[in-house]
């Protein structure tokens, strides 16, 4: 397990340190043979923020997390933690700790000893390490679970124990590698709220890796969207959602109608890619654009309606409490000019 960084390594005075930057990548690459898992990434994560790395499998986000943790070394470039290069520091001497998706709890140890394990490795005496472990369990709302074994816990309880074990060493940066992926939907939503509350309470820098757009947008202060080893956009969730930089971001972050330049040319006379979110499309009177209803799907509080707009298929969402169009019906649609977001980059 990772341990807290020694003060002489990270916390000492350094005129070159950047006090507001918890993690910085400068031109960082990580190659595995001919595969560029991470390709010339520049990144600055601020101290105390909840930062999400979002992207599909193989996009480079988890490799970046491992570079911060010290489980991988960069092929090129520099990784800094609180302004100090860390390429030559082993994981246990970095001011970070990691929560893994599979939790990696020791089944033969009780919960208290699992949480205290990293302190035991450091040589902390049993009384003190158990006291610190009990405090960490209180943080994650499991104050009376120390005597239990991991096998007797629910998935959500095991996730909290893994959090407590990561927090017991008082890291400055907590790395979370898709820690909610094994939970069911309801429990996952509950743990999202728990993580947000815990991060605000502790004021730590959280770096959260996920392929789930909803998780990233609901939890993070900022999101970095990864694709093919590179970061294609960094910004606040609302900015990334409403103003995607590329067709890839528009299609990956939430649902969007990504319109090619020839369609946009016909719509507004500009030759550019554009993003139009389904909820931005509204049904209007006959002064709107005619579209044929291709399908209607009931999603509880809303309807998802596939439409044929000229030669382009688009999707709209509407409240299910309103009128329901029928397949084959011609309807008229419109949207606000600001909702058609132009993007210059190719997909």
d(CA 235, CA 117): 37
CATH (domain of 266): 2.40.50.140
Choose one of 249, 284, 300: the last residue of a domain.
249
Q: What is the pLDDT of residue 160?
A: 87
Domain membership of residue 243 (yes or no) is: yes
Same domain? For 89 and 196 the reply is: yes
pLDDT at 346 (0 to 100): 65
Q: Which of 202, 234, 249 is the last residue of a domain?
A: 249
State the burial class of residue 154 (Cβ atoms within 10 Å of its Cβ: 0-12, 13-18, 19+). Answer: exposed
User: Are 75 and 187 part of one and the same domain?
Assistant: yes
Do residue 203 and residue 321 come from a single domain?
no
Say what the pLDDT of residue 182 is: 67
52 and 197 fall within a common domain: yes
| φ/ψ of residue 258, rounded to 5 | -90, 110
If asked whether residues 91 and 24 sit together in one domain, one would say yes
Contacts of residue 196, defined as CB under 8 A and 6 or more positions apart, other chains included, come to: 50, 219
pLDDT at 180: 79
Judge whether 116 lies within some domain. Answer: no
- How confident is the model at residue 347, as a pLDDT? 58
Q: Is residue 239 part of a domain?
A: yes
Angle between helices 155-167 and 185-202 (to 10 degrees): 20
Neighbours of 220 (CB within 10 A): 23
Distances (CA, A) of 296 to 77, 256, 303, 310, 320: 50, 17, 7, 18, 11
Model pLDDT, residue 191: 83
pLDDT digits (tens, 9 = 90+) for 54-104: 999 999 999 999 999 999 999 999 999 999 999 899 998 899 999 887 778
Q: What is the pLDDT of residue 156?
A: 84
pTM of the entire structure?
0.86
Q: Based on the domain organization, do 323 and 273 belong to the same domain?
A: yes
- CATH code of the domain in which 66 resides: 3.40.50.300
- Total domains present in the chain: 2
Residues 312-347 as b/e (b if ≥16 CB within 10 A, e otherwise) read bebbbbbeeeeeebeeeeebebebeeebbbebeeee
Range of the domain at 208: 7-95+171-249
Q: Last residue of some domain: 190, 218, 249?
A: 249
Those residues of the chain that have pLDDT short of 50 are 1-18
73: in domain: yes
pLDDT at 261: 93
């Amino acid at each position: 397990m990772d341990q807290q960084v020694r003060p002489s390594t990270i916390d000492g005075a350094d005129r070159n340190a950047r006090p507001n930057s918890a993690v910085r990548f400068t031109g960082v690459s990580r190659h595995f043979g001919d595969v560029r898992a991470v390709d010339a990434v520049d990144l600055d994560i601020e101290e105390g923020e909840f930062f999400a790395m979002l992207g599909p499998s193989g996009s480079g986000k988890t490799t970046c997390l491992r570079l911060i943790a010290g489980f991988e070394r960069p092929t090129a470039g520099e990784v800094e933690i609180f302004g100090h290069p860390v390429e030559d520091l082993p994981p246990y001497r970095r001011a970070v700790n990691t929560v893994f998706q599979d939790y990696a709890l020791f089944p033969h140890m009780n919960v208290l000893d699992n949480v205290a394990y990293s302190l035991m490795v450091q040589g902390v005496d049993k009384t003190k390490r158990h006291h610190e472990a009990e405090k960490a369990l209180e943080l994650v709302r499991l104050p009376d679970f120390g005597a239990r074994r991991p096998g007797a816990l629910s998935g959500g309880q095991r996730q909290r124990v893994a959090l407590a074990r990561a927090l017991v060493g008082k890291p400055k940066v907590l790395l979370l590698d898709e820690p909610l992926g094994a939970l069911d939907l309801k429990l996952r939503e509950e743990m999202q709220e728990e993580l947000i509350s815990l991060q605000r309470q502790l004021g730590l820098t959280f770096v959260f890796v996920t392929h789930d757009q909803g998780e990233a947008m609901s939890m993070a202060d900022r999101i970095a969207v990864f694709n093919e080893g590179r970061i294609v956009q960094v910004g606040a969730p609302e900015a990334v959602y409403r103003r995607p930089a590329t067709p890839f971001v528009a299609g990956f972050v939430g649902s969007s109608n990504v319109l090619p330049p020839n369609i946009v040319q016909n719509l507004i006379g500009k030759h550019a890619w554009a993003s139009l979110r389904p909820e931005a499309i509204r049904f209007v009177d006959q002064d709107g654009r005619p579209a044929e209803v291709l399908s209607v799907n009931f999603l509880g509080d809303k309807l998802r309606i596939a439409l044929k707009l000229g030669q382009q298929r688009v999707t709209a969402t509407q409240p299910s409490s309103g009128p329901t169009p029928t397949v084959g019906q011609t309807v008229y649609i419109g949207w606000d000019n600001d909702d058609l977001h132009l993007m210059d980059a190719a997909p």
